[in-house]
């Protein structure tokens, strides 16, 4: 030390290593010394000399990080502090001050440090490149916001960092990306930094690099879609940061409606709890703050009519983070009846009302009191709902052509749907209120003015209030009867001729009565009592006839109205009836048998509608038929062939409905249903004989199920997998996945088809298909060892299909190595949910290894031999000595016949791994250990290619991992990327805290040793 406030460079670096030292004092002391020097050259050289000791260390040691931080502070301390607004105004008035500021900004020491770092950014050592980028990042980050640097220096830094963001080491790319943060020019459409950032976000394989770019990329119309795409990143941390960036940097108005809905839909349904939490706690509050806390306004910006479910999930996420008192304060504008006035109803406020009531209802008993404050009693609400539904207009065909009227009716129907959903929140325990709600629902279903879009929902709510299945059936059957056969009043006019004829008849009868009475008196006088009795009887008959004629005259004297039932068969009526029937069958318990009422509906409504000319009627009839057959095995046997024919011959939508019904029947009853159906009806779906020979998946024997019937079904499904209609293809794949997962079928060839379909570029845009199969493969293979054997059987056919695919086929673009890696991972014994306890059981990978060796021996020159040889080293082989000896024999034969160098090297490595431990020990004892470098282990971990070359030149490393898995090419080397692509380690006993502390002290790096050693040598 030259003075109390000065310090030499060596001591400054030594003190800077210790984190508890005050960096500001060190910087001030060293700066004081530097200012007093007239010749700064020696200071520069000595400063860089000690800096190099830290730059050769790649590991993120605390001492090294402290030194780097000290260097950055010292270099930027020569810049003038940020100016206030008053100083900037004064600066505008004087040019001399500008020149002085420029001189201060371009300080010689700062320029010297930048030039030194840029000189070594292409060094061979990845540690030096990492520290260079890290220092440049810290230097630029420590500079003031209004700092300026020379244009030439700016360009040199820019070019160097653009090179380093393509470095092979992830940590170097991270620091280079961070260093370019202040070099962005978002307003420039051709900004190289922005272009590099977008390229990294799209293509960089390291998640931490993508995270670094996300944290520093500037928002602009060009970069926004790239950031939004990262919300669908494969890594949880990247998705989480993407939502944080959008919350902090992007206004809700900068997003389109589709983008807002997509962000909410994916974020709220993300598999990661952390991502869902970020969206609920960061993105939604940020949007609300920018909209002044107006939730209704936010719903308006989501277009809730087309994304009601997403809007509901969003509201419930907001409610979870809101206090109870605020929930009641922020409720919609209800009147004294606790209802929204009809004139004030809108899509947004009615959806908010529904979400609030459902959220409070979900709290159970705790929310009953709150629910009473936002919802009226059942009877009042039923009258409110009835009044609104009756006011929904029914448009004619001409009115539907008017878009404004159509939009108005669609809005009213949406509001009606939300009001109907609110029935589920009502307190229907009180008998009077429940009866009133039931009466309103039945009335609305029977009214022909009720929109068809509300029929299904009304039926669902009606059935939810009726618990007994038989009463449900009776109620819906009565409504269907009223809708299809309404009571019509037929009036009759008075016929004058008929009235005159009746008057004449009445007069004749009266005359005959008078004559008979006169005759009766004469007989009595003559004492002819027998004749008098007969006349008396005839008089009684004539009086009855007179009364009948008088009654007929009275009835015909005024027009009469008669009630008659007329059956309606128009498509709209049939569709309404079938919709109610389908909803009834869905709500019924699967154990409820088909009674006379359902049978009558089937014969009079469902089956005749299958032949209807209207496609929507046929589709709903097929849905009813398929649902009804689930309740009766006899019905399923009788109509299975009909469903199969519909699945092949009708329109696409109807074929999909029939296919769903077939899959459900096979899942419920199994393939033995086909034998019984074949006994009743011999007609089976015809398939081309060429197709049957080409693809005949193996079917597990299921009771007495005939082989040809099962094959016919599977061949039909296999043809659907090749359909150009994406919906049919997706539904078939999903159905096959269900059948295989439940064990109804076990087919290696069918599994191979599904794997190829998943990788086929044709299905790239079919997100539902990709998601379904991606989940299925994992669940299916991990479920049991039997399933893994099916995957193992599909391995070779899948590889052969890909290798033999013609150049014009989409399968030619598929990466075979990726497919092989998937199949190997699916068949790993360690991937099973419940590993087998049978130690004598041969491992699936053992079978796979033997089959691949046999395939390679058939044709050693085949192109797939290289794929097989590479795959062998990734298998988890068992410890069974017999299997290892057999496999070793096959490998030794392969070594003799295979000529390809890459394959031969992989096979020799596999042979070496299978050698006995004694032979390995002899080989190791005969070899000499090579001297180790400081960064050798880290470099080997980061660069597998160097590690492989080192093993080839010297003695080969013994692989102690189970099955000899080689490290992944994407293995990472830094603390930032330790969590990615790291294989699961074998669990070990956790050391004590004292042991860990002692080990940590031993591993701490101290640069003083190197510095002192260098000083002694010099």
> Could you tell me which residue, 987 or 761, shows the higher pLDDT?
761
Mean pLDDT of 311-323: 90
Mean pLDDT of 537-544: 86
Mapping DSSP onto H, E and C, the string for 781-830 reads HHHCHHHHHHHHHCHHHHHHHHHCCCCCCHHHHCCHHHHHHHHHHHCCHH
Whole-number pLDDT of residue 100: 45
Whole-number pLDDT of residue 31: 85
> Could you tell me which residue, 935 or 132, shows the higher pLDDT?
132
Confidence of residue 490 (pLDDT cuts 50, 70, 90): low
- Determine how many CB atoms are found less than 10 A away from the CB of residue 681: 13
Whole-number pLDDT of residue 907: 86
Q: Name the residue with tokens 């962005």.
A: 184
Q: Is the pLDDT of residue 703 over 70?
A: no
The segment with the largest mean pLDDT, out of 88-97, 818-827, 831-840, 947-956, is 818-827
Mapping DSSP onto H, E and C, the string for 923-982 reads HHHCCCCCCCCCCHHHHHHHCHHHHHHHHHHCCCCCCCCCCCCCCCCCCCCCCCCCCCCC
Whole-number pLDDT of residue 564: 65
Q: Are 18 and 1004 in contact (CB under 8 A)?
A: no
Q: Name the residue with tokens 């059957």.
A: 477
pLDDT digits (tens, 9 = 90+) for 440-460: 999 999 988 888 889 999 999
Confidence of residue 1012 (pLDDT cuts 50, 70, 90): low
Mean pLDDT of 717-730: 91
> Could you tell me which residue, 97 or 746, shows the higher pLDDT?
746
Q: Is the pLDDT of residue 95 over 50?
A: no
CA distance 747 to 718: 12
Whole-number pLDDT of residue 325: 76
Q: Is the pLDDT of residue 286 over 60?
A: yes
Q: Name the residue with tokens 């009953």.
A: 368
Whole-number pLDDT of residue 287: 94
Mean pLDDT of 535-546: 86
Confidence of residue 37 (pLDDT cuts 50, 70, 90): confident
CA distances from 412 to 350, 392, 419, 453, 637 (A): 11, 6, 10, 11, 44
CA distance 74 to 139: 10
Whole-number pLDDT of residue 265: 92
pLDDT digits (tens, 9 = 90+) for 811-836: 989 989 999 999 999 998 888 887 76
Mean pLDDT of 860-886: 84
CA distance 793 to 774: 19
Confidence of residue 51 (pLDDT cuts 50, 70, 90): confident
Whole-number pLDDT of residue 645: 92
CA distance 994 to 991: 8
> Maximum distance among all alpha carbons in the chain?
174
Least confident span in 37-41, 506-510, 827-831: 37-41
Confidence of residue 938 (pLDDT cuts 50, 70, 90): very low
Whole-number pLDDT of residue 255: 93
Name the DSSP letter for residue 490: E
**Beta strands in 416-534, from DSSP E residues, in sequence order:** 487-492
pLDDT digits (tens, 9 = 90+) for 192-208: 999 999 999 999 999 99
Least confident span in 259-268, 326-335, 734-743: 326-335
Whole-number pLDDT of residue 470: 92
Whole-number pLDDT of residue 290: 92
User: If you average pLDDT over every residue of the chain, what do you get?
Assistant: 80
CA distances from 349 to 216, 318, 344, 529, 615 (A): 39, 15, 9, 93, 36
> Could you tell me which residue, 794 or 524, shows the higher pLDDT?
794
pLDDT digits (tens, 9 = 90+) for 849-858: 888 898 888 8
Whole-number pLDDT of residue 775: 92
Kindly provide the b/e burial profile for residues 658-675, where b requires at least 16 CB atoms within 10 angstroms of the residue's own CB: bbbbbbbbbeebbbbbbb
Query: What predicted TM-score, i.e. pTM, was given to this entire model?
Result: 0.74
Confidence of residue 1006 (pLDDT cuts 50, 70, 90): low
pLDDT digits (tens, 9 = 90+) for 876-934: 888 777 888 888 888 888 888 888 888 888 888 888 877 753 354 444 444 333 333 43
Q: Is the pLDDT of residue 410 over 80?
A: yes
Whole-number pLDDT of residue 749: 92
pLDDT more than 70, % of the chain: 80
pLDDT more than 90, % of the chain: 35
Mean pLDDT of 590-603: 89
* DSSP H or E run through 521: helix 496-525
Mean pLDDT of 241-252: 94
Whole-number pLDDT of residue 86: 54
- Determine how many CB atoms are found less than 10 A away from the CB of residue 613: 7
Q: Is the pLDDT of residue 1008 over 70?
A: no
Structure tokens given for 246: 């959008």
């Amino acid at each position: 030390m030259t003075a109390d406030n000065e310090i030499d460079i060596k001591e400054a670096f030594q003190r800077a290593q210790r984190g508890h030292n005050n960096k500001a004092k060190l910087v001030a002391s060293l700066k004081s010394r530097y200012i007093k020097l007239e010749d700064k050259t020696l200071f520069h050289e000595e400063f860089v000399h000690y800096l190099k000791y830290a730059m050769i260390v790649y590991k993120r040691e605390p001492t090294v990080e402290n030194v780097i931080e000290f260097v950055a502070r010292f270099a930027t301390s020569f810049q003038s502090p940020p100016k206030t607004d008053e100083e900037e105004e004064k600066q505008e008035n004087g040019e001399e001050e500008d020149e002085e500021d420029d001189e201060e900004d371009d300080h010689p020491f700062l320029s010297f440090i930048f030039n030194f770092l840029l000189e070594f950014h292409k060094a061979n050592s990845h540690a030096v490149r990492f520290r260079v980028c890290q220092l440049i990042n810290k230097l630029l980050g420590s500079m003031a916001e209004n700092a300026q640097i020379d244009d030439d220096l700016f360009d040199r830094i820019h070019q160097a960092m653009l090179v380093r963001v393509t470095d092979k080491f992830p940590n170097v790319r991270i620091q280079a990306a961070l260093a370019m943060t202040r070099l962005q020019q978002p307003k420039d459409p051709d900004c190289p930094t922005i272009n590099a950032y977008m390229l990294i976000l799209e293509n960089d394989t390291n998640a931490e690099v993508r995270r670094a770019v996300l944290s520093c990329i500037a928002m602009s119309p060009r970069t926004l879609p790239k950031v939004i795409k990262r919300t669908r990143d494969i890594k949880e941390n990247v998705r989480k940061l993407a939502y944080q960036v959008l919350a902090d940097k992007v206004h809700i108005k900068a997003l389109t409606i589709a983008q807002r809905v997509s962000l909410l839909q994916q974020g709220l349904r993300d598999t990661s709890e952390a991502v869902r939490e970020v969206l609920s706690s960061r993105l939604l509050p940020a949007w609300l703050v920018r909209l002044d806390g107006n939730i209704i306004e936010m719903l308006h910006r989501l277009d809730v009519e087309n994304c009601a479910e997403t809007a509901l999930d969003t509201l419930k996420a907001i409610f979870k983070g809101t206090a109870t008192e605020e929930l009641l304060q922020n409720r919609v504008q209800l009147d004294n009846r606790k209802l929204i006035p009809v004139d004030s109803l809108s899509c947004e406020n009615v959806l908010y009302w529904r979400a609030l009531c459902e959220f409070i209802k979900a709290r159970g008993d705790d929310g009953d009191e709150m629910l009473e404050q936002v919802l009226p009693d059942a009877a009042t609400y039923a009258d409110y709902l009835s009044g609104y539904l009756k006011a929904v207009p029914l448009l004619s065909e001409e009115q539907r052509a008017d878009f404004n009227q159509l939009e108005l009716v669609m809005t009213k129907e949406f509001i009606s749907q939300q009001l109907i959903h609110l029935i589920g929140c009502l307190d229907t325990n009180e008998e009077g209120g429940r009866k009133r709600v039931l009466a309103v629902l039945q009335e609305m279903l029977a009214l022909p003015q009720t929109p068809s879009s509300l029929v299904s929902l009304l039926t669902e709510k009606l059935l939810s209030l009726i618990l007994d299945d038989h009463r449900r059936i009776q109620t819906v059957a009565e409504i269907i009867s009223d809708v299809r056969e309404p009571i019509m009043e037929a009036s009759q006019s008075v016929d004058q001729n008929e009235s005159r004829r009746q008057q004449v008849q009445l007069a004749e009868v009266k005359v005959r009565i008078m004559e008979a009475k006169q005759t009766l008196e004469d007989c009595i006088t003559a004492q002819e009592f027998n004749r008098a009795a007969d006349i008396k009887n005839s008089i009684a008959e004539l009086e009855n006839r007179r009364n009948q004629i008088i009654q007929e005259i009275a009835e015909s004297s005024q027009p009469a109205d008669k009630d008659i039932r007329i059956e309606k068969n128009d498509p709209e009526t049939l569709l309404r009836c079938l919709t109610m029937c389908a909803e009834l069958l869905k709500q019924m318990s699967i154990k409820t048998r088909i009674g006379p009422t359902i049978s009558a509906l089937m014969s009079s409504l469902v089956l005749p509608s299958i032949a209807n000319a209207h496609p929507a009627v046929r589709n709903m009839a097929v849905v009813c038929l398929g649902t009804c057959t689930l309740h009766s095995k006899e019905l399923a046997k009788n109509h299975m062939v009909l469903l199969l024919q519909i699945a092949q011959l009708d329109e696409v939508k109807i074929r999909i409905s029939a296919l769903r019904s077939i899959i459900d029947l096979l899942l419920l009853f199994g393939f033995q249903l086909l034998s019984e159906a074949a006994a009743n009806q011999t007609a089976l779906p015809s398939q081309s004989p060429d197709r049957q020979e080409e693809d005949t998946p193996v079917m597990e024997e299921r009771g007495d199920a005939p082989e040809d019937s099962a094959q016919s079904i599977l061949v039909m499904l296999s043809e659907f997998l090749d359909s150009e209609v994406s919906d049919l293809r997706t539904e078939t794949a999903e159905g096959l996945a269900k059948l295989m997962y439940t064990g109804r079928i076990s087919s290696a060839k069918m599994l191979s088809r599904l794997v190829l379909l998943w990788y086929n570029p044709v299905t790239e845009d079919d997100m539902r298909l990709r998601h379904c199969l991606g989940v299925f493969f994992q669940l299916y293979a991990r479920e049991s060892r039997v399933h893994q054997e099916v995957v193992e059987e599909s391995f070779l056919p899948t590889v052969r299909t890909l290798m033999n695919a013609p150049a014009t086929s989409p399968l030619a673009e598929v990466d075979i190595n990726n497919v092989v890696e998937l199949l190997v991972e699916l068949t790993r014994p360690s991937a099973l949910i419940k590993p087998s306890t049978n130690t004598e059981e041969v491992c699936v990978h053992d079978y796979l290894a033997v089959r691949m060796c046999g395939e390679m021996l058939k044709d050693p020159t085949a192109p797939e031999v290289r794929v097989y040889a590479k795959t062998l080293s990734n298998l988890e082989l068992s410890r069974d000595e017999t299997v290892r000896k057999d496999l070793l024999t096959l490998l030794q034969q392969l070594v003799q016949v295979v000529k390809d160098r890459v394959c031969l090297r992989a096979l020799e490595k596999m042979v070496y791994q299978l050698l006995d431990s004694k032979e390995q020990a002899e080989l190791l004892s005969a070899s000499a250990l090579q001297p180790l470098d400081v960064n050798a282990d880290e470099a080997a971990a980061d660069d597998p290619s160097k590690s492989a070359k080192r093993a080839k030149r010297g003695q080969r490393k013994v692989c102690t991992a189970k099955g000899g898995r080689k490290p992944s090419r994407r293995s990472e080397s830094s603390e930032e990327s330790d969590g990615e692509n790291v294989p699961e380690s074998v669990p070990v006993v956790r050391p004590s805290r004292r042991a860990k502390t002692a080990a940590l002290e031993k591993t701490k790096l101290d640069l003083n040793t190197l510095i002192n050693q260098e000083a002694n040598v010099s």
